[in-house]
Chains A and B, each alone.
Chain A
Amino acid sequence: MSKRKFINDPSTIADEFLEGFGLALSDYVEIHGHSVIYRGLLDEPPRITTMYIGGAGHEPGSLAFVGKGYENLRVVGDIFAAPSPQTVLEGIHLINRGKGIFFYCGNHEGDVMAAKMAVKMARREGIEIELFIMKDDCGIYSRDEIDQRRHLCCGSMLGKMLGAAAERGYTLDQMRALAEKFTENVASLSVANRGATHPVTDQLITDIPEGKMIIGMGHHGEGPKNLMDMETSEKTVELMAGKIYDDIGLQSGDEVLVTINGSGATTYMELMIIFKDTVRFLEKRGVSVCGNLVGSFTTTQEQAGFVMSMVRVDDEMKILFRDPCRTPFVTK
């Protein structure tokens, strides 16, 4: 029995979580196996639909945004493990309305492999499907090595734009161009000050001593492991926003969307202070924040820390971000 978590059988965690989520949020979503679908999708006239995949263990993850005007389908794997290509293909079948599918996927090997294999199988069946890999972590690899960049946390901002674009009748090519523009203007960075316990092995993934933090830690506790002393919110924001600012090449007059995504154990109180400090940091440099997502969306169990993600936006991106939507965690 787990010593740290209220679970049942460790091998059915993802299934049981999905069952509970489906019961709690049946107004918004339907669960079919490991596919979570926007409930009203099949009532809308056929159009391009959007999807994302990922491992479980990061609840709510993008499930927070499955709904109208946002993500239409999320396929969930097992704990920190991508869904199988077969499972992904089943999800594709559920949202195929004959008008094409835009599939955005984080740059994690398991997810990318499953995505590529499922897309190959779908295309063989005649389904038109575009695959876009998100790369936004600026912690380890520079923009020149962008293909090495993993995905940290911009899917909720890009997903919103893509969901709105699909509803507005964008073509797959236009959505691809939007996603590419987004990638050129986004950067994310993480920090962790307490490690998480793996729900299945019940073992601590990373041990971060009290009073220390690691900038750049991944969503599954993976490297780097360079410890530094814990800082104030303002100083931490300065370090992180500073790096993102330089990476994107922000300038006075730019407008950005900001995501401050809590990793699970960091309090809402802290997240709001961090967000305030981020807004002030940018203001001092003439950059204004025109939209935001603050909360614990993509978590890593009880890891403490957060991911900061920023994207410079133009009018098109602003309009798409502000379009109406209805999801478990965001309604506009």
Chain B
Amino acid sequence: MNVQNLAIRFSKAAAVLAAKEQYLSSVDAETGDGDHGVTIAKIANAIMTACEQCNPNAAIGQLFDACYVEIMKVNGGSAGPLWAEMFSGMSEAAGDASELDGALLRRLYRGAVDGLNEISNAKPGEKTMKDALLPAAEAAERCEGSCGEIARAAAEAAERGAEKTRDMVAKFGRARYLKEDSIGHLDPGAVSVSIMLRALAD
């Protein structure tokens, strides 16, 4: 897949994500202030803007870097910087590749994790977006199929990971002030990551 088609795919996935604004806000309302959807919609719009302005001769890394720059402009609490760093990590993993193949795709999920680790020291099981992204990266790395199969494996793992956050005690974000009372509620950050990964895979 070339950079133009990748940009279109990311843009469409971002549109799917933006459409889930109300749902994401309602997940956030259970343990936070109920506006994660609002923030994610802003981030999704930033991704769409970057994708629409993508130079067809650009390397894949430049597309992701453009997304990073756009997301960095969003007044988005902690989600803004976190999503920005995911794209920054993906940009680094892509290097100067101009075609997406299975080998690169596998590396991109790990790149996103590495980007996150630059500013988040959350560990697995602490009820954050890493609980969706890390399983996705691991599933992608284990998958030896086509790009489509890799993406679907990652999306499934992310969805399962997000569902598991229900039983975790929050150690980050506003939900952490609930301590054990955060159990029984999904982590909105993990949910939004899994929605994006599923939209990219479909």
Contact = CB atoms under 8 A, between A and B. Distances in A.
Given A81-B77, A222-B32, A109 B25 contact: no
B77 A77 contact: yes
Interface in A131-151: 140, 148, 150
B29 interface: yes
B9 interface: no
Nearest to B29: A203
Does more than half of chain A's interface fall in helix, strand or loop, or is it mixed? loop
A87 B177 contact: no
B33 A222 contact: yes
B33 A223 contact: no
Nearest to B182: A223
A205 B174 contact: no
A85 B84 CA distance: 10
B81 A81 contact: no
B73 interface: yes
Contact of B35 (A81, A84, A109, A140): A81
B38 A140 contact: no
B75 A140 contact: no
Contacts of B176: 148
A116 B78 CA distance: 11
A55 interface: yes
A99 interface: no
Contacts of A109: 77-78, 172-173
B35 A200 contact: yes
A186 B25 CA distance: 34
Nearest to A10: B38
A117 interface: yes
Max chain B Cβ within 10 angstroms of own Cβ: one of A79, A114, A216: A114
Interface in A162-184: none
B78 A117 contact: no
Interface in A102-128: 109-110, 113-114, 116-117
B123 interface: no
Interface in B50-81: 72-81
B75 A116 contact: no
A151 B118 CA distance: 23
Interface string B16-35: 00000000010001011111
Nearest to B174: A222
Contacts of A83: 75
A112 B160 CA distance: 30
Interface in B175-196: 175-179, 181-182
A201 B34 CA distance: 8
Interface residues on A, range: 35 or more
A91 interface: no
B174 A218 contact: yes
Does more than half of chain B's interface fall in helix, strand or loop, or is it mixed? helix
Given A114-B80, A117-B81, A201 B35 contact: yes
A295 interface: no
Given A150-B177, A224-B177, A224-B181, A80 B81 contact: no
Nearest to A114: B81
A220 interface: yes
Contacts of B173: 109
B35 A198 contact: yes
B1 interface: no
Given A55-B77, A84-B74, A86-B72, A225 B178 contact: yes
A55 B31 CA distance: 19
Max chain B Cβ within 10 angstroms of own Cβ: one of A80, A109, A216: A109
B82 interface: yes
Interface in A187-230: 198, 200-201, 203, 205, 216, 218, 220-225
A82 interface: yes
A80 B77 contact: yes
Nearest to A150: B177
Given A198-B35, A223-B31, A225-B181, A84 B175 contact: no
A277 interface: no
B175 A221 contact: no
Contacts of A223: 31, 174-175, 177-179, 181-182
Interface in A2-56: 14, 34, 55
11 contacts: A80-B77, A81-B35, A81-B38, A81-B75, A84-B75, A109-B78, A113-B80, A216-B177, A220-B174, A223-B177, A223-B178
The 10 closest A-B CB pairs, nearest first, are: A110-B77, A223-B178, A220-B33, A222-B174, A110-B78, A78-B75, A109-B78, A81-B77, A113-B81, A77-B75
Given A83-B75, A225-B181, 8 more contacts: A34-B75, A84-B80, A140-B179, A148-B176, A200-B35, A220-B33, A220-B174, A223-B174
